[in-house]
Amino acid sequence: MPVTLELRGVSFAYGAEPVLEGVDLTLTAGQVVVLAGPNGSGKSTILRLCAGLLSPQAGRVLVLGGAPTDSAVRRRIGYVPQGLRPAGTIPVSVREVVGAGLVPARGLFRPLGHEAWARVNEALDAVGMSRLAAECLFELSGGEQQRAMLARALVGDPELILLDEPTTGIDQRFRPVIADELRGRADRGATVVVVTHDPEDFHHVVDRIVLLGEGPVRELAHEEFHAGRRSP
């Protein structure tokens, strides 16, 4: 499978506090990857670097063969940061918010046509939000808003999907729906990278578990990871 993401000798610090030091990581298309590790190990930082929101202080990040800051690359990325809650009180519907996820590929002033709205409906259905499509986003619960933001990230069929704690606040009954949708995206060729404190949500769909913050980056076997979760 083609390489989607490469980190080569990547280092990053917030002020004087190093978070990543000489990280090497390669991910290929068709994978669901969980980034594991303690708080402060750089999991969220890696997602921000891959989304083009941060630049490495040493080393190189390549996404889909180019720089993640390149606009042509960024529109092929779907990203939901941790704790994202849309701010404001403008009466905008869930459907309109998800439709905005198509703007990077279509342009700001090009109206959405029938085919584009069909894609919006498919993305809403994929996260169990179809019945709330016409509701005002800001009147929904935090978990419902989170699902709307997931649909917005998925609507453009991104080749790289970066999700930071995507199931936080989401009702337990919808978590398998989301995990299965991400598995389906990977099976169709996307690379899905998930940071989560609830790995059980993804245990049945994950291909790789990458451990950060305990020396060099390394792979964890499923059994090793879950044994560590059960240890006192």
Boundaries of every domain in the chain: 3-230
What band does 105 get if pLDDT is binned at 50, 70 and 90? low
Structure tokens given for 160: 């790289």
pLDDT score for 200: 83
Q: Does domain 3-230 have CATH number 3.90.850.10?
A: no
pLDDT score for 230: 46
DSSP state of 140: S
The answer for residues whose C-beta is within 8 angstroms of residue 180's C-beta and 6 or more apart is 205
Per DSSP, what are the bridge partners of residue 12? 20
pLDDT score for 10: 96
What band does 231 get if pLDDT is binned at 50, 70 and 90? very low
Other beta carbons less than 10 A from residue 134's beta carbon? 9
pLDDT score for 84: 60
pLDDT, tens digit (0-9, with 9 covering 90-100), for 177-224: 999 999 999 999 999 999 988 888 898 999 999 999 877 788 877 766
Asked whether the beta carbons of 25 and 202 are under 8 A apart, the reply is no
Segments in the chain forming alpha helices (H): 43-50, 71-74, 94-99, 103-106, 114-126, 142-154, 175-187, 222-230
Q: Which of 34-38, 105-109, 157-161 has the lowest mean pLDDT?
A: 105-109
- Please compute the mean of the pLDDT values over residues 141-159 and round it to a whole number: 93
Label residues 56-91 b or e (16+ Cβ within 10 Å = b): beebebbbbeeebeeeebbebbbbbbeebeeeeeee
Distance from C-alpha of 56 to C-alpha of 50, rounded to nearest angstrom = 10
pLDDT score for 130: 94
* pLDDT surpassing 50 at residue 70: yes
